[in-house]
Structure 1
């Protein structure tokens, strides 16, 4: 389970990184070069596409951060973890669960699901 948590934490840290150069370095360490990401409102292909997607989240939710909820789990080449997006100690505006495929210690595909979205 520790390895699954480490994967999830590295992934979420890449989403939280606001410095462009550090985020791109983190993405290259977390994702395969041809990785894909899709959730109900966003999708990205490759490191540049995923980076652009993360930038759009930072623009929409400045100062907000992702955190892991509970323990990550998985089997074979899959990992599943839940997360929350909140501003400091405020209530989360979104909670979700992501399922990823791991290949050669990097994520090759991530599918995100929203478990909760605050009403605006």
Structure 2
């Protein structure tokens, strides 16, 4: 199933917003009451904590833009998609796995940076 919940558009809009009021407004459309956000550098619970994370991110990278890098793959209340962060000439890719609540708002966002690691080399199977 391929779907695109409206809360994901609001979430991307929050990342791309330039001021605190816009960030908060978009998160209010995307997040549930106690949404958990985790990525390799930050974690937050709820709109207030995550809005503070985005405001700090925006202060460090005022011209950064996040964009879709894939469609949305969905089943049950889970959605995954790839994204790309543009900061000047730099690009960072990653993907998110998002769980929505019964109202279509984000309950959890698990964000990963970069490509998946390669499989480790496996030792040859022992011969009988």
Structures share fold, TM-score greater than 0.5: yes
Asked which structure has the greater CA Rg, the reply is 2
User: Cα offset for 1:49?
Assistant: 0.5
Structure 2 length normalisation: TM-score?
0.80
- Which residue does 1:25 correspond to in 2? 25
**1:9 touches 1:68 (CA, 8 Å); kept in 2?**
no
CA contact (8 A) 1:78 1:101 kept: yes
Q: Which structure has more helix as a fraction of its residues?
A: 1
**Contact residue 24 and residue 51 of structure 2 kept, 8 A:** yes
- Which aligned segments of 4 or more residues in structure 1 are displaced greater than 2 angstroms? 1-4, 6-10
RMSD: 1.6
Q: Whole-Å Cα distance in 2 between the matches of residues 2 and 80 of structure 1?
A: 10
TM-score (norm 1): 0.85
Match of 1:55? 55
Instruction: Name the structure where strand makes up a greater proportion of residues.
Output: 1
In the comparison of the two structures, how many residue pairs are matched?
Answer: 113
Q: Tell me the CA shift for residue 108 of structure 1.
A: 0.7
- C-alpha distance in 2, partners of 1:8/1:26? 10
Paired residue secondary structure (1:18): coil
* Structure 2 unmatched runs, 5+: 116-128
Unaligned runs of 5+ in 1: none
